[in-house]
Structure 1
Amino acid sequence: MKKKYLFGPIILALVLFSGVVLVPESWLANLVPADRLEESAISLEPTMFQGTYLQGEMLKSSTYVPIYGSSELSRWDPFHPSNYFETNEAAFTPYLVGKGGMTSIIHNLNFAMHADQLKNKKMVIIVSPQWFVKHGTDEQHFAPNYSSLQAYQLPFNKKVDEQVKRKLMQRLMTYDAVKNDTILYQLYDAYLNDEKVMFNIFSVPARAYISILKKKDMYFTILKDKPTNRHQSDEVKDKTWEELRAQADTYGEKRTQHSKFYIDDNVYKYRKDYIKRMEGKNKDHSYAESLEYEDFQLMLDILKESDAEPLFVIIPVNGAYYDYTGFPEKGRQDYYTRIKKQINDSGFTYADYSDHEYDPYFMRDTIHIGWKGWVYLDEDMQKFLE
């Protein structure tokens, strides 16, 4: 009798699991709420970044303009593009794709996955100097952000240039999150070494796992996102760009009265001790040399081959704070020069804010654009999209 009780729940679990996996994706798509895409535009939920369904639907629509970036996208205020363009009833809606720790290599996987949907698609890509540390993004930032679904699909992806795909796979294999995934690592290894028999062997469990991950993506898509505190503010409605810049100055001034370096008071309050310890600590630092430049070039290559139309946004650093830490100006200027050359050489356009390092209220804190910086971006986005 005990064996019956033991096997009963196991059999039931297997039946339920099989049912979940075998449900056709088309059936699940019919269960997605009608407002789910609109809701996800500002949700900044990792399940959306690491999935494919919602982004695929977004790219199909002419209504949405994706903004790819990292942690700055969550720094919400009235001047944030999502609020500004909604308040002013623009013909398009920004769709935010990014969170802290997302750098070129994470976005590369995403762009490769959707390469066939990027033709003539206008988009905005915010590039942060902090991505360009010497060894590129580390495991701590890579592991929680990369998409297993997109990584597993990469070897089977015929939408991107073969050499670009191989370089991306080789780069991914340097991270423990991929190394420790035996099937994925062996799949990549067999592909890169042209071992067709081994690749076919590992393709069987890989494709089965892709099917499971796709269903997981669909189930998360059906669920509603957590409520956000990103509420619409109409104080930026029907203003000229000059009025908005003046308004942003006033807004920023009120929020930096008790801090140094024009840092948001709420940030400074919690980072004050850390900032004190950072005086003169970055004398030997530079953004001139980094593995990130290779990752960024792969991004440029994927977008160029896909005939995408990106506007790159070159974010400055907080000049006063960087001077305080001793970070050499040359190590910053070399970065600005190099990144602009890469973009130019690929035939793309950019909004260059590198001369705003010392502009009060352009940055919200030590590294994130905000307030007046958003106003400049709103203006450049509108010109670009018109």
Structure 2
Amino acid sequence: MIFGPVIVAIVALLILLWTPINFKTVTPRKIDQASTSLDVRVLKGEGVKNAAEKENYIPIIGSSELSRMDPFHPSSMAQKYHWKNKPFLLGNPGTASLTQALNVSGMTGLKNQKAVVIISPQWFTKKGVPSDVFKYFLSPLQLTGFIVNSNHGDKKMNKYIANRILDLDDSLNTVETNALLRIADGKQITSFQRFYINRLTRSSLQSQDNLFGTISLNDHQKKIDQAVSKLPDNYNYKDLDKLAVKMAKNHSRENDLQIGDSFYRKQLYRRIHRYKNAHRHVDYNHSPEYNDFQAMLYLFNQNHTEVMFVIQPVNPKWIKYTGMPKDSLADFSKKITYQLKSQGFNNVVDLTHEKNPNYIAEDTIHMGWRGWLILDKHLEPYYKNKKADPNKTNYKMNSYFLTKKWANNTDF
């Protein structure tokens, strides 16, 4: 009488987690909510993202800038001006290239579809992504997917990703670790590893994702509705640009750095003096992030995904205040653009070279106000068709970009 119900509950849970049942918990309403939730479970899961790929959504892959949901944010503009396809936001603070590479590997619905990637220069530090940040965002589900599919795709890319994961996370499960060691050595995983990971671990993780991946998601719809209410009914770029400047001025009155007052009060007010000339030695040209970024490109190539890459701007007044070398952003832009275009990823929107950079960023390093509006001008026509143009996915991958030599190269 005491233990019977407990035992029954445990058995029922085990059946739910290991029985290959397709739980239909991903409804259109849940997909819509997930598209702007920025919930880490959506990022680390697979079900809701792949369901969205069957609907009218195109993913925007990035990091913390996606949370700056002002009236000119792509999700606001798509809702107000009825874009044919809507953004599906995938990113959190700290989600750099390797996290997003594994994210892309789990997005089977991306094949022959479109995507957008926002590149943040600040990812490209000398040490690259911190181990603790990578471990936080490492998805066991996406990891198992990478392992069981490792006999496909580019062998050098698989070796690189496996080695990089092992370098950054020393707390992996033994079976997964041994499988990664084989992949890193250029070998296929064993039949036991494949059975265990695919039939037991991955099956359970997929059931968990299907059951719990959309429960109590963050709901930003009210925030977006409020932002949308501030936009005029008719789209006119010049009028919207004036409105963006007006809003930006109203929200950045407490400082002369064109930084939003809320951010300034919370993050900078008491320690602003610490940042004076603090970035004189910033260097974005030497980083393992270039290699992680290349791994993500390989996965886009594998899925024949057409991608728009956006190089995010840095607040020009912040650059001046912190003493960042004038060439830092220009050199970074040149290097990452070379890596992209030399392999056929030709759709690059570089916002670091805008002639009028006023209010292009909402804070120090994140797009907002005019930055979003400028990007929207590129996104709206791109979002009219979610199918990839085969003529724009003829990529020519170069494994040189996976090497340490390229990570530190300044001659290109």
Q: Fold conserved (TM > 0.5)?
A: yes
Q: Are 2:33 and 1:33 aligned?
A: no
Per-residue deviation, 1:146: 1.9
Distance 1:209 1:23 in 2: 12
**Structure 1 segment 69-88 matched on structure 2, within 5 A:** 69-88=62-81
1:234 aligns to 2:232 (yes or no): no
**What is the alpha-carbon distance in structure 2 between the residues aligned to residue 11 and residue 224 of structure 1?**
28
Q: 1:166 aligns with which of 154, 159, 174?
A: 159
| Structure 1 residue 211, shift from structure 2 partner | 1.3
Per-residue CA deviations over 1:56-97 (Å, capped at 9, x if unaligned) read 111223x11111110111111111010111111121111111
Flag the 1:195–1:346 CA change in 2: closer, same or farther, 3 A.
Answer: closer
Task: Work out which of the residue numbers 258, 264, 273 in structure 1 matches 2:254.
Answer: 258
Counterparts of 1:199 and 1:333, CA distance in 2: 47
Which residue does 1:49 correspond to in 2? Answer: 43
Distance apart, 1:192 and its partner CA: 3.0
1:343 aligns with 2:340: yes
CA distance in 1, matches of 2:282, 2:109: 39
Rounded to whole Å, the distance in 1 between the matches of 2:176 and 2:18 is 23
- Aligned in 2, Cα 1:159/1:83: closer, same or farther, shift over 3 Å? farther
SS of the equivalent of 1:41 reads: helix
Deviation at 1:357, TM superposition (A): 8.8
Q: CA deviation at 1:32?
A: 3.5
Q: Is the 8 A contact 2:26 2:48 kept in 1?
A: no
* Counterpart-to-counterpart distance in 2, 1:255 and 1:235: 14
Quote the residue 2:317 is aligned against. Answer: 320
Alpha-carbon distance in 2 for matches of 1:165, 1:193: 10
Report the equivalent of 2:407: none
State the alpha-carbon separation in 2 of the partners of residues 292 and 22 from structure 1: 37
Matched, 1:148 2:132: no
1:301-335 deviation digits (Å, cap 9, x = unpaired): 22123221110001121222122222212222211
158-167 or 287-296, larger mean C-alpha shift: 158-167
Give the conservation status (yes or no) of the 8 Å contact 2:83–2:380: no
Letter in 2 for 1:294: N
Q: CA deviation at 1:159?
A: 5.1
The normalised TM-score by structure 2 is 0.85
- 1:381 and 2:379 are equivalent in the alignment: yes
Distance change >3 Å, CA 145–CA 222, structure 1 → 2: closer
Select which of 327, 331, 334 maps to 1:334: 331
* Secondary structure at 2:349 match in 1: strand
Q: Are residue 128 (structure 1) and residue 120 (structure 2) matched?
A: yes
Gaps of 5+ in 2: 385-412
CA distance 1:112–1:32, shift in 2 (3 Å): closer
Residue 390 (structure 2) aligns with: none
In the alignment, structure 1 residue 354 sits paired with structure 2 residue 352: yes
Residue 65 of structure 1 contacts residue 93 of structure 1 at CA under 8 Å; is this kept in 2? yes
| Alpha-carbon contact 1:173-1:185 (below 8 Å) kept | yes
- Is 1:206 equivalent to 2:200 in the alignment? no
Letter in 2 for 1:16: A
Q: Cα distance, 1:166 vs. partner?
A: 1.9
Contact 1:191 1:199 in 2 (8 A): no
Change over 3 Å in CA distance of 1:109–1:225 after alignment to 2: same
* Pair 195,82 (structure 1): closer, same or farther in 2 beyond 3 Å: closer
Q: Does the residue aligned with 1:95 lie in a helix, a strand or coil?
A: strand
TM-score, normalised relative to structure 1: 0.91
Q: Counterpart amino acid of 2:239? A: E
| Matched position secondary structure for 1:187 | helix
CA positional deviation for 1:296: 1.0
Corresponding residue for residue 367 of structure 1: 365
What is the one-letter code of the residue matched to 2:12? L
Question: 8 Å contact 2:38–2:218 — kept in the other structure?
Answer: no
Q: CA deviation at 1:358?
A: 7.1
Structure 1 CA distance, aligned partners of 2:313 and 2:187? 46
SS of equivalent residue, structure 2 residue 230: helix
Q: Is the 8 A contact 2:39 2:217 kept in 1?
A: yes
Q: Give the conservation status (yes or no) of the 8 Å contact 2:75–2:224.
A: no
Whichever residue aligns with residue 206 of structure 1, its letter is I
Q: Give aligned pairs, total.
A: 376
* C-alpha contact (below 8 Å) 1:282/1:327 kept by paired residues: yes
Which position in structure 1 is the counterpart of 2:273? Answer: 276
Task: Please give the secondary structure, in 2, of the residue aligned with 1:125.
Answer: strand
- Cα RMSD (Å): 2.2
Q: Which SS does the other structure have where 2:244 is aligned?
A: helix
Say if 1:57 and 1:380 are closer, same or farther in 2 by CA, change over 3 A: same
Q: SS state of the match for residue 137, structure 2?
A: coil
Distance 1:143 1:346 in 2: 30
- Residue 225, structure 1, aligned to residue 223, structure 2: no
Unaligned runs of 5+ in 1: none
Bigger Cα displacement from structure 2, 314-323 vs 337-346:
314-323
Q: CA deviation at 1:25?
A: 2.9
Contact 1:133-1:286 within 8 A present in 2 as well: yes
3-state SS, counterpart of residue 348 of structure 2: strand
Question: How far apart are 1:151 and its partner, in Å?
Answer: 0.7
The structure 1 residue matched to 2:299, chosen from 299, 302, 312, is 302
Judging changes above 3 Å, is the alpha-carbon distance between structure 1 residues 163 and 246 closer, same or farther for their aligned structure 2 residues? same
